[in-house]
C-alpha cells in the first residue's frame, strides 16, 4: 500500500462557510463533490480535498498518492481561493505538509 501524501492548510476568515460552498459548487461542474455549509469533500483527478468551516477558519486537507500531485493540489486550492476571497486579501493558505500522518 502506497503512503498517502497529505497537507493541511487554514485560512482565517469570517466567510469560511461561504468560500467552502463557492469552491464546492465550482468543482461540482467537473468532479464528484459532497458538501453542506460546514464540510465538503471534493474528488479531483490528482487527489482529494476535504474542507471544514467554522465561524472564523476555513480548514483544507488535500491528499494524494504522489508528492508532486500534492504541490498541484495546494496550487489548485490557493488559486481558486485567490479568486473567490480577494476581498479578504487572500494570498495563500497557511500549509503544514504531512506524509502518512506525520509532519515532515
Query: pLDDT digit string (tens) for 17-51?
Result: 999 999 999 999 999 999 999 999 999 999 999 99
Q: What is the CA 43 to chain-centroid distance, rounded?
A: 11
Nearest to 22 by CA among 43, 40, 10, 47: 40
Q: How far is Cα 11 from Cα 60, in angstroms, rounded to an integer? A: 8
Q: Which residues pair with 64 in a beta bridge?
A: 5
* DSSP codes of every residue in 49-98: EEEEE-SSEEEEEEEESSHHHHHHHHHHHHHHHHHHTGGGT----EEEEE
Query: pLDDT digit string (tens) for 60-91?
Result: 999 999 988 999 999 999 999 999 998 888 87
Q: How far is Cα 104 from Cα 101, in angstroms, rounded to an integer? A: 9
pTM metric for this prediction: 0.86
Amino acid at each position: 500500500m502506497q503512503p498517502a501524501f497529505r497537507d493541511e492548510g487554514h485560512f482565517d476568515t469570517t466567510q469560511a462557510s461561504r468560500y467552502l460552498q463557492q469552491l464546492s459548487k465550482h468543482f461540482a461542474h467537473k468532479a464528484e463533490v459532497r458538501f453542506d455549509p460546514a464540510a465538503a469533500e471534493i474528488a479531483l483527478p490528482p487527489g482529494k480535498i476535504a474542507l471544514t468551516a467554522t465561524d472564523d477558519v476555513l480548514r483544507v486537507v488535500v491528499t494524494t498518492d504522489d508528492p508532486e500531485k500534492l504541490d498541484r493540489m495546494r496550487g489548485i486550492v490557493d488559486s481558486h481561493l485567490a479568486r473567490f476571497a480577494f476581498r479578504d486579501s487572500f494570498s495563500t493558505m497557511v500549509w503544514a505538509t504531512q506524509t502518512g500522518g506525520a509532519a515532515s
